[in-house]
Amino acid sequence: MTESSQDTLTKYRLIGPLDNAEDSDLLAGLSEKDAKNRLQALIAEWLRMENLVVLTGAGTSVTSGGKTMESLESAVLKTVIASKDIPEMAAAVINARIQEKAEAKIGFEEWLSFLINASHIGAAPRSPLIGVKWKGAIEPSQTDLSVLTKRIGKAIFLECSLSLPEAPLSAAEAPHISPHLSFLAKLVARDSNLGRAHLFTLNYDTLFEQALELLGIQYFDGFTGKADARFDPSVYGLDIYYPGEVAEGRVRRFDKFVHLYKLHGSIHWEVRGDELRARHPNLQLFKSYLTLNDVAEKAAKLAELEEITPQVGILPTTNKFTQTLAMPFAHLFRSFQIRLSAPQTFLLIL
């Protein structure tokens, strides 16, 4: 469902097969009101399918101050290079990236992958190499690269340390309720005889986790434990039921429950040894950073918060899937594939 660029009676298009199996716009020729009613009826029907899979991207975080990958890169690099104590060669690496980006060579994830690899090659205790040679006249030391990757990781964390807006206190404020809250409330309101909803997100922020907890919705996110959770994908095979007489079949399922999958990782994930742990930080400590627009002020705040800002456990790099964390990502993407292949499945992409 996308907005149409053509002059039609409705601003939406819904592409689907006709009786002759040919694809066509099912809303063609309808008025705005009729098209909206048609869409609502179809979506209501699809939501009654046995299995519901939701895939969300950066757009679901924009209303709470989130950024797309492109705007995230711009904000992070501008803030880091504005830092007063950034090494000269580290700044040169960023300037080269900004110039390269103007020529549209590689994306942020791929560039960050090269940067991380270059930093690790010379820093690894058993590495036979002392470093790598950068293109052009740039000659960053291992210290320069270490400072740069650490600073970028912390800046990414701060940019993604989003918090949901304050919940409305009165009926007049109700229209301003966070979309996360209203969407999740509808997600768990499906008939109890239907399959559980499976929510997959590509975002690093924890807005969905915050909304789930505010609504009192129980969820499994692939981790066991609370204070210092450990990744254990077997939890996705579990469910929650009220106590009952199992022998007599009188067991009632707990309604407010979803499965949550962070396909690209999360700001609260942490690599510890060969394990993946999860611990939610106090995001109120970093709220002041997100209110700043001036680059110099953000750089100063980054330096001020650096000691208490956690390092992003899994940076947004293209090689994150092939490192020691391949097992978590393999489980998550395999779960996505399995859920999509199940019969009677409705995939909703936001």
Q: pLDDT tens-digit profile of 88-120?
A: 999 999 999 988 866 767 888 889 888 988 888
Domain ranges of the chain: 1-43, 69-163
Residue with tokens 């907005």: 3
The string of pLDDT tens digits covering residues 127-172 is 787 778 888 889 999 999 999 999 999 999 999 999 998 765 444 5
Q: Which strands form 218-220's sheet, in the order they lie side by side? A: 218-220, 257-262, 197-201, 51-56, 345-349
CA 336 – CA 261 distance, rounded (Å): 9
pLDDT above 70 coverage of the chain, percent = 86
Q: Residue 249 pLDDT > 60, yes or no? A: yes
SS3 27: coil
Contact 290, 67 (CB under 8 A): no
Residues ≥6 apart with Cβ < 8 Å to 346: 46, 47, 49, 51, 52, 53
Q: Residue 314 pLDDT > 70, yes or no? A: no
CA 102 – CA 289 distance, rounded (Å): 27
Q: Residue 174 pLDDT > 80, yes or no? A: no
Residue with tokens 């100063």: 300
- Provide DSSP, 161-230: ---PPPPPSSGGGGGGS-HHHHHHHHHTTS-TTSPPEEEEE--SS-HHHHHHHHTT-EEE-SEE-STTEE
SS3 4: coil
Instruction: Write out the two tokens for 234.
Output: 């077997």
Q: Residue 2 pLDDT > 70, yes or no? A: no
User: Mean pLDDT across the chain, nearest whole number?
Assistant: 85
Instruction: Please report the pLDDT score of residue 127 as a whole number.
Output: 78
- Angle, vertex CA 237, rays to CA 234 and CA 239, nearest 5: 125
CA 261 – CA 218 distance, rounded (Å): 14
Query: Highest-confidence range of 37-46, 55-64, 175-184, by mean pLDDT?
Result: 55-64
Contact 79, 302 (CB under 8 A): yes
Instruction: Please report the pLDDT score of residue 248 as a whole number.
Output: 65
Q: Residue 56 pLDDT > 90, yes or no? A: yes
Confidence of residue 180 (pLDDT cuts 50, 70, 90): very high
